Structure 1
Amino acid sequence: MSDAASLADYRSALTTPGATGPVIAALFGRLPIAMVGISLLLYTQSQTGSFATAGLVSGAALIGVAMGSVAQGRIVDRFGPTRPLFVFSTVFAALAVLEVAAIELRAPVPTLVGCALALGLSQPQVGSASRALWHRLLPPGPARTAAYSYEAISMEVFFILGPGLAGLFVTAPWPGTGLVIGVATQFLGSVAFAMTRTVRAWGSRETAPAHSGGLLGAFARPAVRTVALTALGFGLVIGFIEVAVPASATAAGHPGVGGLLLSLWSVSSVLFGVLYGMRPWPRPLYLRLPVLLGGFALLSALLAIPTSLIGLAMVMVLVGTLITPQSTAHSLAIEAAAPPGAAAEAFGWVITSVTLGLAIGQSISGALVESAGPPVAFLCASAAGVVIALIVWLLRHTVSGRPPERQGTTVVTATPRPGQAAGAGAPDADPSASAPQSV
């Protein structure tokens, strides 16, 4: 199927029967996704006075999300989303209360980190369930591609609102306001998503046997691992920047501006993402993964140049143009790579990788901004992203289905592996067009 999507395809996807309820509920379930993380970071920093501690706490929450998303995905693939989302949403809300109490009581750093880890583990994964649901609602074609693009673009809208709201609420009389509002909204949205008729029907019919790949599950597939590595690099770069930008604003004497600055790159991401989806480049998906990540990493180095917040804001807009194209590429690639019956788990590996990258980036960046300053953190983000993009380039054959070229050997065709269509190894083939739709 083609991976270019027109505006008519977006309309067709969003108006398909059974989609309205889950789409609206998922908006509320994922709206606070950036707000919760940034609010936790800013709230902890305001109470402890340390970006290093705040980075550890926020990073621990993200590690929890990374660990919990795959487990939740497997449970959703097995039982459907309704019961798991009810359980995890309830536990998530209770642990949020515990985290707030620990921060207010000035608990030791290990306690704050432990509570944050548990909070992340229980965060309801509406995103992976929502993306996997499109396979049940739409046949392969431009409309399904538009649906995945919508998922990526809507996430960027949340990243526009989330950091800005977090920056606003941290200046309220009580700096934990943003965290509480974000958790409450996510709880209500997740429960509403689980209660929609379309989602409840998921658990009552199985269209494919559950995939068995041992402990690794879907991650046993080389293509899934390559997409996950790409997502890790994507999250790593963002994690560095999400700490360095608020630190730059704080150093300039305007701490409340940090969240607004982070919102700016999401604005350009949404606008450019729609245009990019109509004519994506590079056309082959296996090339798009390393090229987009490498370009994003190189642009991130420019953030070290500005000496004013206005200059930083302008560069943030430029860097943000390559965020949504990467998110969409991840969704398309993981759909082609996912084993039958493991859609939610496969998407969970992408979430795991992004959040693990965010956690590592935030943790390292928190120490760097205090010891060497934000510009060094920006440069480290760029270097880390470029290195991972080069590794993905070397592994691109796992996504394309083409074996690595050997000197003196002419590869005429690639033997299809299980779950891969014949012809996927043709030069310049796009796996999103040739791989069977098995998710």
Structure 2
Amino acid sequence: MCHASGVSASSASLSDYRVVLTSPGAPGPVLASVVGRLPIAMIGLATLLFVQRATGSFAAAGLVSAGVLVGEGTGAVLQGRFMDRRGATRPLILAAMLFGLAVAALAAAVEADQPLPVLVALAVVAGLVQPALPGASRALWADLVPPGPLRSTAYGYEAISLEVFFILGPAIAAFLVAAPWPGTGLAVAAAAMVVGAVGFALTPAVRARSARTAHGGSPAVGPTSPGLLGVLAEPGMRTVAIASLGFGLVVGTVEVGVPAVTAAAGSAAMGGVLLSAWSVMSVLAGVLYGLRPWPRPLHLRMPVLLGVFAVFVAAMALTGPSGSLAVLVVAMLLAGAVITPQVTAHSMAVDIAAPAETATEAFGWVITAATIGIAAGQSVAGVVVEEAGPPAAFLAGGVAGVVLAVVLWLRRGTLATTPAAVPVAS
């Protein structure tokens, strides 16, 4: 790998995305990963809403939802590390089967009114075996497109699509809570994840990569991921993880605060509408931002974008105790405009911060940090909503995001000068 300082991200046109998505071997994994990754962010909120309906407590529901997300974050790293050594096919199929069983057990326990510790424990297990599809999907692009602008575009697609899933998934979960059975959202999410993960694992491109890796085609075994932290031992990867953590923390407060505001206004389903609008704004603004990203250096982009995001979310607190949806919508859409640029920056920074042979594990850490952040944000917001109302939850999330943006700014040098950096086309 080459050294780089002050790395800048390339811009990508719509035609570049079309070339990448239609590359030989790409359509099958892309379609399967869409089905399997869409429910990733849906699982947490679907669990929260299901448990809240069953127990009547946002605080209890937040703890169970956090259990799923914390387990998911841990499982993503462990599964990713194993896939970097043995390939993705068998681990994904095994994880998908175990995940289906774990979610069924959790749903049965909720229906049986089991104690909260039991629900949290089952939620953690479900998260641990949730298929680590995002990391496997991102790593596969190294086989499908050559290095350079097209691969950067492929990573941009992964980031944009994952961002859509992180926002659209909760919106779907909010809609499905109105179904006759409040666990419908959780069941739909689990089924889609199982089908998508198995379908992805069985595509020819993934099977070929798995066969090559299992027969010694990957140099990832050995010192590339030392110790318990693995690739997170790289200072630059810790910076990327902090950025992803801050993003998830702020998003988690919004995912709880918005449904709480709309429920107080007399329309629980409106929460799903607003989250859907957030998703649309995020994608549109993200595509436009990708044409001319700013700041161009990734080590500056991450703290700036997180800080702007946090300020806009804090502004959502101006909705006030009266629940003014107009103020909420404006601030929410402004915040949504900087979501995709953040997730894209996280994905591209992995190439700067981590060795290429640890791609699955490295991206697993990004997912882990985001899910832990969402879990913390949802848990804290659930308590704050009950004690002080939704505006206070938005304010708490915004302040936390600003604090972590300052931390990122102080650590910006770890991405500007890291020895693992690779050149990015400009």
Q: Who is 2:137 aligned against?
A: 130
Aligned partners of 1:266, 1:195: CA distance in 2, in Å? 30
Amino acid at match of 1:209: P
Question: CA offset at residue 47 of structure 1?
Answer: 0.9
Amino acid at match of 2:57: S
Query: Is 2:380 the partner of 1:364?
Result: yes
Q: Who is 2:193 aligned against?
A: 186
**Greater CA deviation, 117-126 or 163-172?**
163-172
Mapped contact 1:231–1:330 kept (Cα < 8 A):
yes
Q: Map 1:90-101 onto structure 2 (within 5 A).
A: 90-101=97-108
% identity of equivalent residues: 55
Query: Is 2:146 the partner of 1:139?
Result: yes
Aligned partners of 1:104, 1:317: CA distance in 2, in Å? 36
Q: Which runs of 5+ in 1 are unaligned?
A: 402-415, 422-430, 435-439
Query: Is 2:241 the partner of 1:228?
Result: yes
Mapped contact 1:244–1:377 kept (Cα < 8 A):
yes
Query: Is 2:247 the partner of 1:237?
Result: no
Question: CA offset at residue 180 of structure 1?
Answer: 0.7
Amino acid at match of 1:254: S
Mapped contact 2:11–2:292 kept (Cα < 8 A):
yes
Q: Map 1:404-423 onto structure 2 (within 5 A).
A: 417=419, 419-420=420-421
Q: Who is 1:352 aligned against?
A: 368
Query: Is 2:46 the partner of 1:33?
Result: no
Aligned partners of 1:113, 1:359: CA distance in 2, in Å? 12
**Greater CA deviation, 28-37 or 277-286?**
28-37
Q: Who is 1:437 aligned against?
A: none
Q: In the TM superposition, what whole-angstrom CA distance separates every residue of 1:391-424 from its partner, at most 9, and x where no partner exists?
A: 11000000000xxxxxxxxxxxxxx73x346xxx
Task: Say which SS state the counterpart of residue 205 (structure 1) adopts.
Answer: helix
Aligned partners of 2:231, 2:62: CA distance in 1, in Å? 31
Alignment partner of 1:200 out of 198, 201, 207: 207
Task: Say which SS state the counterpart of residue 123 (structure 2) adopts.
Answer: helix
Query: Is 2:266 the partner of 1:253?
Result: yes
Task: Say which SS state the counterpart of residue 357 (structure 2) adopts.
Answer: coil
Amino acid at match of 2:34: L
Aligned partners of 1:327, 1:148: CA distance in 2, in Å? 10
Q: In the TM superposition, what whole-angstrom CA distance separates every residue of 1:104-127 from its partner, at most 9, and x where no partner exists?
A: 011111111111111111111111
Question: CA offset at residue 260 of structure 1?
Answer: 2.4
Q: Who is 1:115 aligned against?
A: 122
Task: Say which SS state the counterpart of residue 147 (structure 2) adopts.
Answer: coil
Q: In the TM superposition, what whole-angstrom CA distance separates every residue of 1:162-197 from its partner, at most 9, and x where no partner exists?
A: 233222221111111111111111100100000000
**Greater CA deviation, 143-152 or 373-382?**
143-152
Aligned partners of 2:236, 2:284: CA distance in 1, in Å? 29
Query: Is 2:262 the partner of 1:265?
Result: no
Alignment partner of 1:59 out of 41, 55, 66: 66
Aligned partners of 1:39, 1:209: CA distance in 2, in Å? 39
Aligned partners of 1:2, 1:149: CA distance in 2, in Å? 10
Task: Say which SS state the counterpart of residue 387 (structure 1) adopts.
Answer: helix
Aligned partners of 1:216, 1:161: CA distance in 2, in Å? 31
Q: Who is 1:149 aligned against?
A: 156
Alignment partner of 2:310 out of 249, 272, 297: 297
Greater than 6 Å deviation, 4+ residue runs: none
Amino acid at match of 1:38: L
Alignment partner of 2:84 out of 77, 84, 87: 77
Aligned partners of 2:162, 2:355: CA distance in 1, in Å? 25
Q: Which runs of 5+ in 2 are unaligned?
A: 1-7
Q: In the TM superposition, what whole-angstrom CA distance separates every residue of 1:92-146 from its partner, at most 9, and x where no partner exists?
A: 0000010101110111111111111111111111111101111222222221121
Amino acid at match of 1:384: A
Query: Is 2:228 the partner of 1:215?
Result: yes
**Greater CA deviation, 251-260 or 321-330?**
251-260
Alignment partner of 2:57 out of 19, 36, 50: 50
Aligned partners of 2:229, 2:165: CA distance in 1, in Å? 31
Mapped contact 1:338–1:346 kept (Cα < 8 A):
yes
Aligned partners of 1:180, 1:17: CA distance in 2, in Å? 34
Aligned partners of 1:290, 1:161: CA distance in 2, in Å? 25
Q: Who is 1:342 aligned against?
A: 358
Mapped contact 1:2–1:142 kept (Cα < 8 A):
no
Q: Who is 1:386 aligned against?
A: 402
Aligned partners of 1:345, 1:37: CA distance in 2, in Å? 22
Question: CA offset at residue 204 of structure 1?
Answer: 1.7
Aligned partners of 1:2, 1:340: CA distance in 2, in Å? 17
Q: In the TM superposition, what whole-angstrom CA distance separates every residue of 1:211-262 from its partner, at most 9, and x where no partner exists?
A: 2322211011000011001111111111111111111122222222222222
Mapped contact 2:149–2:424 kept (Cα < 8 A):
no
Aligned partners of 2:421, 2:59: CA distance in 1, in Å? 46
Mapped contact 1:159–1:263 kept (Cα < 8 A):
no
Q: Who is 1:427 aligned against?
A: none
Query: Is 2:330 the partner of 1:330?
Result: no
Task: Say which SS state the counterpart of residue 228 (structure 2) adopts.
Answer: coil
Aligned partners of 1:352, 1:2: CA distance in 2, in Å? 24
Query: Is 2:410 the partner of 1:397?
Result: no
Name the TM-score, length of structure 1 as normaliser. 0.90
Question: CA offset at residue 159 of structure 1?
Answer: 4.0
Mapped contact 2:9–2:296 kept (Cα < 8 A):
no
Alignment partner of 2:391 out of 375, 390, 393: 375
Query: Is 2:147 the partner of 1:163?
Result: no
Aligned partners of 1:247, 1:9: CA distance in 2, in Å? 40
Q: Who is 2:300 aligned against?
A: 287
| Coordinate RMSD, CA, aligned | 1.6
Question: CA offset at residue 311 of structure 1?
Answer: 3.1
The 1:2/1:289 distance shift into structure 2, 3 A limit, reads closer
